[in-house]
Every structure is written in C-alpha cells, then in structure tokens.
Amino acid sequence: MRLRNIKGSREVIGASDYVVHEEETKAGTWHEIFGNDHPIYIEVGMGKGQFIMALAKRHPENNYVGIEKYSSVLLRALEKMDKEEEPLPNLVFIRMDAENIEKVFAEGEVDGIYLNFSDPWPKDRHAKRRLTSTTFFGRYNKILKKDGKVEFKTDNRPLFEFSLESVKEAGWNLVAHTFDLHHNEEMNEGNIMTEYEEKFSSQGNPICKLIADR
C-alpha cells in the first residue's frame, strides 16, 4: 500500500458521514452509533475497504466497522463508498491505530474480527506490532464476545506460521486452517476476496487462512 500523504485527506475524513472519529467514540456505544442492536464485526487494517464493503453488502443484518491507520488509505475507501449505488448504513470507518482498540470497543462488544493481509513486520524486534501477535490476541480477548472468532488471511507463509504459534501461545483454539484457501472447498465457501488477495493470488501465491476462538 502506498502511503503518500494525500493533501487534504484529513479534512475530507473529518467531514465524512462514513467516518466515526476515534476521539468522539466511547467504548460500549456502538449500538447507539448504528441505531440498532445488530452484531458488530470489525476488520482491522482494512486498507481501501474492498472486503468489508462487500461483506456489509452481503450481510445487511450485521454492523461493520473498518479500521485503518492511515488517512491517505482511508480516503480511498471513502471514494469507493461515494461510488456505491445504494448507501451502506451498516458500515462505518474509523482512522486509528489498532493498538488502541480497547479504548474504542468495550468488553465483549465485538462479535467477530477480520484480519486480512496484515503488515508482516518481518524484524523480530517488531513482532509485537503484528496484528496476530499474542499482544494483539490479548486485546482481541477483551473486546470479542465469548464465542466470537478471529479470521485471518495472508499469502505470507512466515507470518502465517508465526500466527499459528501465536494462537497457541495466547491460549486460543485453532478452529480451522489451510495453507491453500482457494483449493479448500469447505473453507473457501462464500470467500470474499480482499484487494491484496486478488493481487497475490493472481501472481500464483497460495492464500493461507486461519480461524481462531477461545
């Protein structure tokens, strides 16, 4: 993902109806924000939002929150939302670093968490920043409902193997996993391709996926 600082992106985001602002959110108020009591699913590191927009369209009975760290990337998601023929009242975005996720969501407020093609942070000293580190599983443990699941996809084999270990170390259960999602009929059923998934699978990279719960 190019991280150019697009001029004015913060202003556009500030004025957008699709964005909930980190400083204005209070953990435990997401049902008020959506105006209903439907389940709440989040994608951490949603990029330009292709996956979560398709998911929100497919499941109007759920609410979705797309989390992205960079304004310049979030802006692209806002542009996509503007091009939608029908509005998506069950989807909002928030620009924030997921390190602070426990400040934004209350205990058990989230029904499910999606992580797609998360940044690998290949240096050992940055391992805690990986969205599938035990540090992050600790954060997900707080905000996720008791029977909620984390679903993670990547084409990065070392990151995937690290993540399988993390699930175990964090004391979570590995519900299912595959090293080749697109050739695993059961796990691939209903799969929504992310932007990165389209790009890397078209280059011949197998896609890995894991599902974890506690």
Six token digits for residue 168: 């175990």
Among 16, 68, 149, 187, the residue binding ligand SAM under the rule CB under 6 A is 68
Q: Is 160 in the site for ligand SAM (CB under 6 A)?
A: no
> Closest approach of Cβ 89 to ligand SAM, in Å?
22
CB atoms within 10 A of CB 181: 21
Q: How far apart are CA 132 and CA 138, in angstroms?
A: 10
Q: How far apart are CA 133 and CA 136, in angstroms?
A: 5
Q: How far apart are CA 169 and CA 58, in angstroms?
A: 34
DSSP string, 95-126: E--GGGHHHHS-TT-EEEEEEES-----SGGG
Q: Is 46 in the site for ligand SAM (CB under 6 A)?
A: yes
Q: Is 79 in the site for ligand SAM (CB under 6 A)?
A: no
For ligand SAM, the closer CB: 109 or 197: 197
Q: Is 65 in the site for ligand SAM (CB under 6 A)?
A: no
Of 89-128, which residues contact ligand SAM (CB under 6 A)?
Answer: 97-99, 116-119
Q: Is 73 in the site for ligand SAM (CB under 6 A)?
A: yes
Catalytically annotated residues: 119
